[in-house]
């Protein structure tokens, strides 16, 4: 009985201790990168890869699945903020921005699909990778622009195009999943399921927006009470979307855009949200490395690099072709194309969701997307940072 009052030896630290050490290590790697002019988010991504099964094996795919709520909440938070900064009126005032978005997305999709189809990956896999390639990482772009305190023509267009890319990428992939439903379960389900996902996400976004506007009348969004209300609203939204089997990435973005449409004035963002969001970004990159294994990474490396090259050609081609008519000079158009390159956690989650529905198809898709996100999650933020500095849209006084 006396032994129960003394600590065991060796100490039984439980699962929390290695998580704490990993979190500190990830934060320190990001901070070290920041001191050498590398975006902190690239450091977080690197630390996640080192801590995952690729090297140290502290985390594995089970950890990613077990902490899916944290990842979904973080992405919902980022997309909600991105939506609130996305003014739909701006698109009607400058139609060339819409043309730029449509042009670069169409070119990216066509070139990525064509490149993969040409080397024999199969139509389904080529379409799925192309749909994911259309997207741009909202987590990376929001983190880099906030870190640099960037603002200006290029930054505004970059965030607007990122919002549109995310929405279209999710919709395209869901349409493909609908086609897979048609192959396996009949064409009625193939038609109804994508329609349900799209309309359900829009309606859910409208409900979230209405709830936010209602809460804002009761509590100050910048207060502690406002922070608690916002966290509760997003958690409830994720719970509802999960129960309805709707994509958790689309509705928060729609909600933010509807709020901005309803009230175009600048919205006060709780200061504490910045700190909480920053910590959560560290956590999701730490966990994202758990999805990357050496076998799958090397299996998808060749096709992943091919997809990266084709995707980059599409992003650059669309930005250069349509940037100048929308009011950007050639240098800023190039910077816009560079800024659209990052791809990270959301792309991995989209591929993982497909794998859960169709394991055989997903097992062929995931390694390609994994290779793309490893490269573009590490190098994409660095390229975006340099591009925004070159066009002088940063407000950091310590930058060259």
Examine the pLDDT at 196 and tell me if it is beyond 70: yes
From residue 69, give the alpha-carbon distance in Å to each of 130, 239, 281, 353, 380.
Answer: 27, 9, 13, 14, 26
Indicate if the pLDDT at residue 28 is higher than 80.
yes
Mean pLDDT within 50-54: 88
Q: What is the pLDDT of residue 38?
A: 92
**pLDDT > 70 in the chain, percent:** 90
* The pLDDT value given to residue 185: 58
What tokens were used for 189?
């389900």
The pLDDT of residue 181 is above 70: no
**399 pLDDT exceeds 60?**
no
Cα radius of gyration rounded to whole Å, the chain:
21
- The pLDDT assigned to 218 comes to 87
What would the mean pLDDT of 19-29 be, rounded to a whole number? 89
388 touches 145 (CB < 8 A): yes
Q: Give the global pTM.
A: 0.91
User: CA-CA distance, 56 to 81, in Å (whole number)?
Assistant: 34
Concatenated DSSP letters of 161-177? HHHHHHHHHHHHHHHHH
What is the pLDDT at residue 199?
92
Q: What is the percent of the chain with per-residue pLDDT over 90, rounded to a whole number?
A: 52
Which residue in 161, 170, 176 sits closest to 249, CA to CA?
Answer: 170
Which of these ranges, 277-291, 298-312, 367-381, has the smallest mean pLDDT?
A: 277-291
Inform me whether the pLDDT recorded for 188 exceeds 80. Answer: no
| Nearest Cα to Cα of residue 72 among 239, 243, 258 | 239
Q: Which residue has the higher pLDDT, 111 or 85?
A: 111
DSSP per-residue letters across 132-145: HHH---HHHHHHHH
Buried b (16+ CB within 10 A) or exposed e, 219-235: eebeeeebbebbbebbe
Does the pLDDT at position 186 exceed 60?
Answer: no
Please state the rounded mean pLDDT for residues 288-301. Answer: 88
Q: What are phi and psi of 88, to 5 degrees?
A: -65, -25
Residue showing tokens 């855009």: 257
| Count of CA atoms in the C-beta half-sphere (13 A) of 161 | 35
User: How high is the pLDDT of residue 190?
Assistant: 63
Mean pLDDT of 84-112: 90
Whether 391 contacts 147, CB under 8 Å: no
Q: Could you identify the residue written with the tokens 């097992």?
A: 363
Cβ distance 170 to 346 under 8 Å?
no
Rounded CA separation 149/151 (Å): 7
Q: Mean pLDDT over residues 182-193, rounded?
A: 64
pLDDT digits (tens, 9 = 90+) for 351-389: 988 988 888 999 999 999 999 999 999 999 999 999 999
Binning pLDDT at 50, 70 and 90, where does residue 347 land?
A: very high
More confidently predicted of 377 and 269: 377
Calpha distance 308→15 (Å, rounded): 37
Is the model's pLDDT at 63 over the cut of 70?
no
């Amino acid at each position: 009985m006396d032994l129960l009052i003394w600590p065991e030896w060796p100490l039984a630290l439980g699962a929390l201790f290695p998580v704490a050490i990993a979190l500190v290590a990830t934060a320190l790697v990001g901070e070290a990168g920041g001191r050498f002019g590398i975006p902190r988010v690239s450091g977080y991504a690197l630390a996640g890869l080192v801590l995952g099964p690729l090297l140290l094996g502290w985390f594995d795919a089970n950890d990613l699945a077990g902490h899916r709520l944290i990842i979904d909440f973080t992405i919902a938070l980022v997309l909600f903020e991105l939506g609130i900064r996305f003014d739909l009126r701006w698109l009607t005032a400058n139609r060339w921005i819409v043309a730029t978005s449509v042009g670069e997305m169409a070119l990216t999709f066509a070139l990525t699909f064509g490149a993969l189809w040409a080397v024999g990956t199969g139509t389904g896999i080529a379409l799925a990778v192309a749909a994911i390639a259309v997207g741009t990482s909202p987590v990376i772009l929001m983190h880099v622009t906030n870190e640099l305190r960037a603002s200006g023509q290029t930054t505004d267009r970059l965030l607007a195009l990122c919002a549109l890319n995310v929405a279209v990428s999710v919709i395209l992939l869901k349409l493909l999943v609908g086609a897979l439903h048609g192959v396996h379960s009949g064409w009625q389900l193939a038609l109804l399921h994508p329609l349900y996902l799209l309309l359900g996400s829009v309606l859910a976004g409208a409900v979230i927006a209405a709830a936010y506007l209602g809460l804002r009348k009761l509590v100050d969004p910048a207060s502690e009470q406002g922070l608690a209300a916002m966290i509760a609203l997003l958690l409830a939204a994720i719970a509802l979307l999960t129960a309805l089997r709707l994509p958790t990435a689309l509705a928060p973005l729609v909600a933010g855009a509807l709020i901005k449409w309803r009230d175009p004035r600048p919205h006060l963002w709780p200061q504490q949200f910045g700190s909480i969001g920053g910590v959560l970004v560290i956590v999701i990159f730490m966990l994202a490395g758990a999805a990357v294994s050496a076998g799958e990474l090397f299996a998808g490396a060749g096709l992943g690099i091919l997809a990266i090259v084709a995707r980059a050609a599409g992003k650059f081609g669309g930005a250069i072709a349509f940037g100048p008519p929308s009011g950007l000079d050639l240098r800023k158009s190039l910077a816009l194309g560079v800024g659209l390159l990052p791809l990270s956690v959301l792309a991995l989650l989209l591929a993982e969701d497909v794998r859960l529905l169709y394991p055989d198809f997903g097992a062929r898709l995931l390694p390609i997307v994994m290779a793309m996100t490893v490269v573009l999650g590490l190098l994409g933020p660095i390229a975006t940072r340099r591009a925004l500095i070159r066009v002088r849209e940063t407000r950091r006084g310590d930058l060259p």
